A and B are shown apart, each in its own frame.
Chain A
């Protein structure tokens, strides 16, 4: 280089950059990246769990990346997460088969609900979910009602599609079938504005119930509406031991007690149900069935 000052400056700059990077690597606490479904994160449950985990493992930083189940699994496949927490059995199965995730732990469950306008023009109240979807399709074709879909490959969306498949119907592209491509809260608000039907997880619905005056839950219960949250170790994780510790922590008594009581006072109902040895066997069976839908 012509200018000696420039050379010196260049060397100093490079030294600072490299040195800074090394120091940064050295000082950073261990990072555990958890890509997770939004419905778990948005309620605040995960932050509470992470605080507990941090109390036991002070030198670990738990980083939650809240995206839909589809994206969470995709990000895991890219190698950008150590753990995934998701609720889409059929998607999970594909990624297990691809060898992306392993060590399944079911740590919580609740239910999906079909909600709709209070006067229920499609008359689905009390039906089983597949029959309800058939009635919604029929009423939609007659131009009486609209159905709002997440359309974002999230766990809820995947389940909705599975229910349509069960009913041997394909509403995609129909004028009464509206895809929002956004989160559960926004989708519920759209359904409320349009006085339309939608599938929702019970947690988000309970949380927003006060603001959803036009809607009411019409179909609930049954294995097909069971919403199972599972945690997985990402096979390519660089911190498998730590990730495994977090996974075991999720099913520990401490966290299970937290899940049981979470949000009960605030929302007037249980948002998530804990898993115990009796319910686990039943949940595993339901999971296997849902994965094949």
Chain B
């Protein structure tokens, strides 16, 4: 395979794998954040604390746990997911869940402070309050998703352990960098690193723009 072509497929694979992971994660992270915004029970607070604590879970630890789950001798081994891109998607989706939830929650709480009294005095029901929150907090939600994508794109532990860094199948930017470094090919590693940095930086700028409105 031609090197530039291979590089391009690695970048595209990275983006689509992490993109899918974040979309998947959003389907439960955002509703969870919304649910936590609207609750003031003790359990809700506990869940919130737990999620905040989990935002910094080391990726290698998560990777190892998932490997043991997905291994042929593990409880989910029958799925045959190990060393496929789907394993990375699932792993990264789990990885970014606390991050997306916690950032979306912070944003939504801020929005809630601004609109809560107005909504209640207008006699809005629970459903209407949720809708209003999502509408007003859309920027916060989007930036939480983008930050989640950034984290997924830049993580190595999960992709390497459950993906296996298989050429043309599960080789993403971070695992390719790790391989090139171990091969002693620092030049290719650096150019991949620059691409990764550029994507991350661009996304962060987008997030900031969203925050400022």
Contact = CB atoms under 8 A, between A and B. Distances in A.
Given A63-B166, A64-B167, A65-B166, A80 B82 contact: yes
Contacts of B82: 80
Interface of B: 71-74, 77, 79-80, 82-83, 164-167, 169, 179, 181-184
A153 interface: no
5 contacts: A66-B165, A66-B179, A78-B73, A79-B71, A80-B73
A278 interface: no
A185 B169 contact: no
B183 A42 contact: yes
B167 A80 contact: no
Contacts of A236: 72
Nearest to A79: B72
Interface of A: 21, 25, 31, 33, 38, 42, 47, 61, 63-66, 78-80, 182-186, 188-189, 204, 207-208, 211, 236
A156 to B, nearest CB: 13
B73 A79 contact: yes
A66 B165 CA distance: 8
Contacts of A78: 71-74
A186 B177 CA distance: 13
B72 A80 contact: yes
B184 A189 contact: yes
Contact of A204 (B83, B165, B184): B184
B181 A47 contact: no
Contacts of A31: 83
Contact of B184 (A61, A65, A66, A211): A211
Secondary structure class of chain B's binding surface, majority of residues:
loop
A211 B183 CA distance: 13
Contacts of B183: 42, 185
10 nearest A-B residue pairs (beta carbon)? A185-B184, A79-B72, A183-B182, A65-B164, A79-B73, A42-B183, A78-B71, A208-B184, A63-B166, A78-B73
Contacts, number: 53
A64 B166 contact: yes
B181 A63 contact: no
Contacts of A33: 83
A63 B73 contact: no
A185 B182 contact: yes
Q: Which of B77, B80, B164, B183 has the most CB of A within 10 A?
A: B183
B26 to A, nearest CB: 16
A141 B35 CA distance: 64
B184 A25 contact: no
B188 to A, nearest CB: 13
A61 B89 CA distance: 21
B77 A79 contact: yes
Q: Which of A31, A33, A80, A183 has the most CB of B within 10 A?
A: A80
Contacts of B72: 78-80, 236
A66 B133 CA distance: 48
Q: Which of A25, A38, A63 has the most CB of B within 10 A?
A: A63
A80 B71 contact: yes
Contact of A63 (B74, B164, B179, B184): B164
Contacts of B79: 21
B80 A25 contact: yes
- Which of A182, A183, A184, A236 has the most chain B CB within a 10 Å cutoff? A183
A207 B180 CA distance: 13
Contacts of A211: 184
B68 to A, nearest CB: 8
Contact of B181 (A65, A80, A186): A186
Contacts of A188: 184
Given A63-B164, A78-B73, A78-B74, 8 more contacts: A42-B182, A65-B164, A78-B71, A80-B72, A184-B182, A185-B182, A185-B183, A186-B182
A63 B83 contact: yes
Contacts of A65: 83, 164-166
A84 to B, nearest CB: 14
A38 B182 contact: yes
Contacts of B71: 78-80
Contacts of B166: 63-65
B151 to A, nearest CB: 24
A181 B23 CA distance: 36
B167 A182 contact: no
A207 B179 contact: no
Contacts of B80: 25
Nearest to B83: A63
Nearest to A183: B182
